[in-house]
């Protein structure tokens, strides 16, 4: 049987860790580098307004929407939390 208490501020640390993980995941998916004039997936022209709004964009809106549907949604549970907090 597990016993013990979480230290002061442990809940806030878990919340902060969850937010940091979510932000890292989002930032990792942002386009970087030189953008393309034509979609790398279908070859359609990427509108100038989209290229200005999203520097580094590599797909047209339709192909990006399809790619976004395939992204795994992360759980809302903090998997980095202490064992003590997970047993409560």
Domain total in the chain: 1
Would the CA dihedral through 32, 33, 36, 42 be positive or negative? negative
Residues 81/7, Cβ–Cβ less than 8 Å: no
In a domain, 6, yes or no: no
User: How far apart (Å, rounded) are the C-alpha atoms in residues 78 and 30?
Assistant: 23
In a domain, 21, yes or no: no
Span 50-71, average pLDDT: 91
In a domain, 54, yes or no: yes
Print the domain residue range for 42.
33-71
With cut-offs at 50, 70 and 90, classify the pLDDT of residue 26: confident
In a domain, 37, yes or no: yes
In a domain, 61, yes or no: yes
| Confidence (pTM) | 0.55
In a domain, 22, yes or no: no
In a domain, 16, yes or no: no
pLDDT given for residue 4 in this prediction = 59
């Amino acid at each position: 049987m597990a016993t013990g208490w979480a230290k002061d501020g442990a809940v806030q640390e878990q919340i902060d860790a969850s937010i940091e993980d979510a932000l890292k995941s989002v930032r990792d998916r942002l386009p970087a580098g030189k953008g393309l004039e034509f979609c790398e997936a279908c070859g359609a022209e990427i509108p100038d307004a989209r290229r200005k709004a999203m520097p580094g964009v590599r797909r047209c809106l339709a192909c990006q929407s399809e790619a976004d549907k395939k992204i795994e949604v992360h759980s809302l549970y903090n998997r980095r939390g202490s064992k003590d907090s997970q047993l409560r």
